[in-house]
A and B are shown apart, each in its own frame.
Chain A
């Protein structure tokens, strides 16, 4: 126990200013999220009817489409204004893992090499890999604990913004819960790898911004492709003309037309290929290529969304997080390889 405390004390002191900086920043963001979450929830306590009537949480607007009653207008204006600010704050939950990766990850090894302390540490430790793991562990645990706070706060805020349970819901996917922590782990290990490779603190920080950005943009594009391959078409009305229950928690991948032969065609593609020059739509989601077709009942296609159902949210959450952690693991392995062979300055 005493040895663990000594390890934690030394590790903290080796990087205290970055740790204090991110602690203050992350605590501030998390506190802001919790404050906004409680403020948004308070609106519902004032008048649940007004929020429900405006479709907040349920997705269905006032039925007569005449807008909210006068007594709800002020409350709803305040709600939307607060909701807008809270939504902006959610982007901090998206950025926090990458910020921590840069601020905490990049300097870990870079400063040791830059400041010459690597010579001291690497001559004392018989294994540079065990030194690296020991050196990283405290900072990583500290960062992940901070990100866990953000993950929980963002989960509560997202639910308050949407005013519904988000257990099986893709709303704010990647900006709340487990992916915040997993991406933090990945970003931090990439930052550490860049720092070990570059060996100077400031260039390492700048380079890690670039590398972390590129890696996660690449991962995001890969996820998009993956999601596209798994998404399925869903009509808004069935063949009998009855509305299909709308899955509010689904992850929308595309929107367009289902042709009579069952193929998906986006509107853009239909126009580009000259299949459509204008569209006519009835009130049951059937799309026609001309007024004459509408009159004749010659359907060009059905309006569809291409989405992944909300029930698959937990599965994709794990998948997204696992990929980020695997990338982090690979980066850690790369860092170990660099540190083993690197010449200290």
Chain B
């Protein structure tokens, strides 16, 4: 196993139109193996970042690599290492589940149709069902099975949980973690629902206002942060608690351990404060 990061960005910036910056100079190294959660609010640039790795978006500045390959220079080479689950599982209305797997096989000859079919069978998703008649959760599972069937060492999942009910989200994450750990793959899962990814992910990237606010393992993020209910000199940021009081995320020791949700909220609040100050 190589220690080289499998997904990188260097000073990555992406602008839409003349003024809207989705990403503003991001440096990231995502190591091989495990699941990395990419969390952030809507319009934080999560999809843009993932689409840049897939080769769907061209960086305005800076660059990205997939397994050391620049996807804009060598799209085929980069895609050969990638399995991708789009934000909304857009399947072909007129095709059955089996047709989708056949199509994937035609588009990528190395696609492991039997593996994907077996995964779907475990979930009792019939291969002869039309994609249109599947539930949202089942459609997401088909999209995941297609990504897993590529047997790619890197999986990029662009908010696949967004439109799923809690049960379907749990099932999806179960399949994902099972497959990634079984195959030794690397997955990057974007989401704006922190609690969903907490159990499944090994690493955490908090993206806000177009830049990386936090990037470390889930364990170290939880271990390094705590909550203070009063103003604290080492506070990263403050934000409103559910009971209406103000709490402070502290990098260090304070009143009580922080939950992952609080860590993320704290860094998002710090990102907003930085923008407001600027």
Chain A residue nearest to B150 in the complex (CB): A124
CB pair B99–A13 under 8 Å, yes or no, is: yes
Q: Known contacts A9-B99, A10-B99, A13-B92: does B86 contact A119 (CB below 8 Å)?
A: yes
A285 interface residue (CB < 8 Å to B): no
Quick one: CB contact mask for A115-138 with B, threshold 8 Å, 1 for yes?
111011111111110010010000
What total of A-B pairs shows CB separation below 8 Å? 74
B56 touching A344, Cβ below 8 Å: yes
Q: How far is the CB of B28 from chain A (nearest CB, A)?
A: 20
Interface pair B82/A123, CB less than 8 Å apart: yes
Most chain B CB inside 10 Å of its own CB: which residue of A14, A121, A123: A123
Cα–Cα distance between A7 and B80 once the two chains are bound (Å): 22
Q: Would you list which residues of chain A between 1 and 41 have a CB under 8 Å from chain B?
A: 3, 6-7, 9-10, 13-16
Some 15 contacts from A to B, beta carbons below 8 A apart, are A10-B99, A13-B95, A115-B93, A119-B90, A120-B90, A121-B107, A123-B54, A124-B108, A124-B111, A124-B146, A125-B79, A125-B107, A125-B108, A126-B79, A134-B107
| A343 close to B (CB within 8 Å) | yes
**A residues engaging B (CB < 8 A)?**
3, 6-7, 9-10, 13-16, 115-117, 119-128, 131, 134, 343-344
Q: A120 and B143: CB pair below 8 A?
A: yes
Question: Quick one: given A343-B56, A343-B57, are A126 and B108 in contact (CB under 8 Å)?
Answer: yes
Complex CA–CA separation, A9 to B111 (angstroms): 19
Task: Report B-chain residues with C-beta under 8 Å of the C-beta of A343.
Answer: 51, 56-57
With A6-B102, A126-B75 known as contacts, the answer to whether A119 contacts B84 (CB < 8 A) is yes
Residue of B nearest to A12 (CB): B94
Q: Which residue of A lies closest to B147 (CB)?
A: A123
Q: Taking A123-B84, A134-B106 as contacts, is the C-beta distance between A117 and B94 under 8 angstroms?
A: no
Interface 1/0 per residue, B15-39 and A, CB below 8 Å: 0000000000000000000000000
Residue from the list A10, A117, A119, A127 in contact with B106, Cβ < 8 A: A10
B219 / chain A contacts, CB cutoff of 8 Å: none
In angstroms, Cα B88 to Cα A119, docked, is 10
- For B51, the chain A residues whose CB sits under 8 A away are 343
Chain B residues within 8 Å of A117, by CB? 90-92
Q: A119-B90, A124-B150 are in contact. List 17 more A-B contacts (CB 8 A).
A: A9-B99, A10-B95, A10-B106, A13-B94, A14-B92, A14-B95, A16-B94, A115-B90, A115-B93, A117-B92, A121-B103, A123-B79, A123-B84, A123-B86, A124-B107, A124-B108, A127-B76
Q: At the interface, yes or no: B104 with Cβ under 8 Å from chain A?
A: yes
Taken together as a complex, chains A and B put the C-alpha atoms of A125 and B56 apart, in Å, by 13
**Residue ID in chain A nearest B104 by CB atoms:** A124
B94 contact set on A, CB distance < 8 A: 13-16
B-chain residues with CB within 8 Å of residue A13 when the two chains form the complex: 92, 94-95, 99
| Chain B minimum-CB-distance residue to A125 | B107
A120 to B88, CA, bound (A): 10
Contact of B76 among A119, A126, A134 (CB under 8 A): A126
Q: How far is the CA of A14 from the CA of B54 in the complex (A)?
A: 24
- CA of A122 to CA of B76 in the docked complex: distance in angstroms? 10
Question: A125: which B residues are within 8 A, CB to CB?
Answer: 79, 107-108
- The list of the 6 closest CB pairs from A to B, nearest first, reads A116-B90, A123-B84, A126-B76, A125-B107, A124-B107, A119-B86
On whether the beta carbons of A7 and B56 are closer than 8 Å, the reply is: no
Contact with A along B259-273 (1 / 0, CB 8 A): 000000000000000
Q: Mark B168-196, 1 if CB is under 8 A from A, else 0.
A: 00000000000000000000000000000
In Å, the complex CA distance between A15 and B93 comes to 10
Tell me whether B107 and A7 are in contact (CB under 8 A). no
